[in-house]
Amino acid sequence: MFDIASLVTKGVTYVKTNLLALVLMGGIVLFIWWKQLIAGQADSIVCVKDDKKTPAPAQQVTLAALTRRALVSPSVLLKEAASLGTYHVKWLFAAPLVVASDPNTVNVVLSDKFIANRVVVNHTAKGVMATNGETHAKQHSLLVSIFQDPSLTASLIDHLHARLASETFPEFNEAIAQKDTLDLCPVFEELWVDVISLWVLGLDATGTVANAKEEIERREKVVEARRCLANLTFVLPTGIAWYFDIIRNYVQYSEYLMLPGSRDYLVRRNGKTKARNIINFEYGTMAKEFRESGKKRGGLAGKLLDAKLAALPEGQTDLSDAEWEDLFEQLEAVQTAAQSPLYSLTPHILYLLAHSPTHQKQIYQELSKVTAKQITKTHVQSLPSLTSFTLETLRLLPPFVTTYNRVSPENAYRLPGQWMLPKSTHIVVDLLSTLRNTTAFGEGASAFQPERFNGRKYTPTTAETPAETSHRVKDALKLSAPVFETTYYPFSAGPFACPGQQIALDVVKVCVAEIVRRYEVVAGKGREGVDVGAVVKGMEEFGSEQGGVLRHLEGCPVLIKKRK
């Protein structure tokens, strides 16, 4: 007779007594599966040579080379990149993440003629989660052209002057009165978040309109909300949140890449919904005012609206709801993209000046020739010492230590010797190591020497036309050594290059100049005598928190002295 109960009991006893063996077997099966998966992926690295697909030779790439720590600690990134060579492949789900760094090693590993310079970064790769392809290209070139407009830089500088006078100088004076060390990072984080938010939304710079009180209250609400939102936390449907959190752990800046419908996801945990609503209300008001009375704002909002209206088919005078949404998303993207590198770079320049009194003196002497009450873009463009100091700080402390990650479309990322990276390769360029490349910047590449920029003019990487680019890509691959100009690209290059690079250089210099002409910045207590070279060498003082820009880990502590 078939006794089910006894069979079940026997089964349970069997499972109990053999549980350990079953777990072990399961583990072994999983391990074999994993090894096969990895091996399968390695085999599937197919490159294209002379239009024929062939498996890439195994020695061409190093697998699982960078540790996760390298993506958040610049000092670890430098060390690992130096020991591993140029092409590090990190497995990220099904696709490898490639980090290009040292062209010397790439010469050995991949070919004898590869240079990780800004021309080579000009590939036609697509962003992973960002809008990509033609949509991205259109939005990108729109921003590039809008940012050429001098009135836009001028209005940003107006906001900067107003903010320096109302909060920053009083904060500096307070630190002087207290004879206390001041941490520069939080000061400039608030400054840039405030300045960019008012400029992006096209609000008045000084609050001197007829209903001044109401306007000031409104501006305060907006900047409060923006400060609250500056530390991004996404709320996503559970499945996506899990995927996103994992990606975020591995790929820097991925949290800033917009997912479809991201404005809805940007609703915050921890009571940030209120802040989000304040900004959304501003967006709504912007569209309402235009629709009801044709009123347009200043700042970026106004310029972007003008450009979008100009592109409408004849006879159409208003944007559709979807087009307004696009406009808001672009404003949102610029807010994030602009504020964080600015609040990384500005305190770092001042901190390095505190540790380099000779350079500070030189810059102050240059500045003392400017007699105007307010420093303008024209002034700072003709201050060579300040320009060289800024460019050198950007080289050794680039706010983005790696580019955003992007995915290569099939065969579009060309390597030397006609090799192509396979489709869906995640590519991240290690700007930190590239900007310290000894072939390009000489044996003293890791030393802080602003003078290396003397007599050189920075050409924004957005200035290249596609035709010039593809021609130059071909030429670059033939070059035998990377040159200074093409390897210097802290704003990245190609279709994802920073569209705001000239504005960024202008406003950062105006900000630093206004401070240095009033105050002397001195090394903080206990840090006297530490030379600027020691600060930037090993990068131990800095970190790139998940999804964040490069920051001094102790917030750039300095002492401030008022100049006579």
Binding annotation for heme: 498
- SS3 call for 311: coil
Site string for ligand HEM, 134-173 (x = CB under 6 A): ------x--x------------------------------
Could you tell me which stretch among 100-108, 336-344, 415-423, 522-530 binds ligand HEM (CB under 6 A)?
336-344
Q: Binding of ligand HEM at residue 275 (CB under 6 A)?
A: no
Q: Among residues 56 and 143, whose Cβ is nearest to ligand HEM?
A: 143
Q: Which of residues 164, 342, 477, 521 is near ligand HEM by CB under 6 A?
A: 342
CB of 412 to ligand HEM, least distance (A): 15
Q: Which of residues 244, 324, 389, 496 is near ligand HEM by CB under 6 A?
A: 496
Point out the annotated binding site. Answer: 498
Closest residue by beta carbon to ligand HEM: 500
Q: Among residues 353 and 508, whose Cβ is nearest to ligand HEM?
A: 508
Rounded to whole angstroms, how far apart are CA atoms 472 and 470?
5
Concatenated DSSP letters for 262-278? HHHHT--STTTHHHHHH
83 — phi, psi (to 5°)? -80, -20
Concatenated DSSP letters for 282-310? HHHHHHHHHHHH----SHHHHHHHHHHHH
Beta-carbon contacts of residue 279 (< 8 Å; ≥ 6 apart): 201, 222, 225, 226, 229
Q: Among residues 86 and 492, whose Cβ is nearest to ligand HEM?
A: 492
Site string for ligand HEM, 400-419 (x = CB under 6 A): x--xx---------------
Q: Binding of ligand HEM at residue 74 (CB under 6 A)?
A: no
Q: Which of residues 434, 492, 502, 544 is near ligand HEM by CB under 6 A?
A: 492
Rounded to whole angstroms, how far apart are CA atoms 450 and 392?
5
Rounded to whole angstroms, how far apart are CA atoms 314 and 386?
47
Q: Site for ligand HEM (CB under 6 A): how many residues?
A: 23
Instruction: Give the alpha-carbon dihedral of 287, 292, 297, 301, to 10 degrees.
Output: 20
Helix locations, 397-519, DSSP H: 431-434, 438-441, 466-478, 484-487, 501-516
Could you tell me which stretch among 14-22, 48-56, 351-359, 494-502 binds ligand HEM (CB under 6 A)?
494-502
Q: Can you read off the two tokens belonging to residue 437?
A: 């490349």
Name the nearest CA neighbour of 306 among 433, 149, 121, 478.
149
Site string for ligand HEM, 284-323 (x = CB under 6 A): ----------------------------------------
- SS3 call for 97: strand
Q: Among residues 304 and 522, whose Cβ is nearest to ligand HEM?
A: 304
Q: Which residues bind ligand HEM (CB under 6 A)?
A: 140, 143, 333-334, 337-338, 341-342, 345, 399-400, 403-404, 490-492, 496, 498-500, 503-504, 508
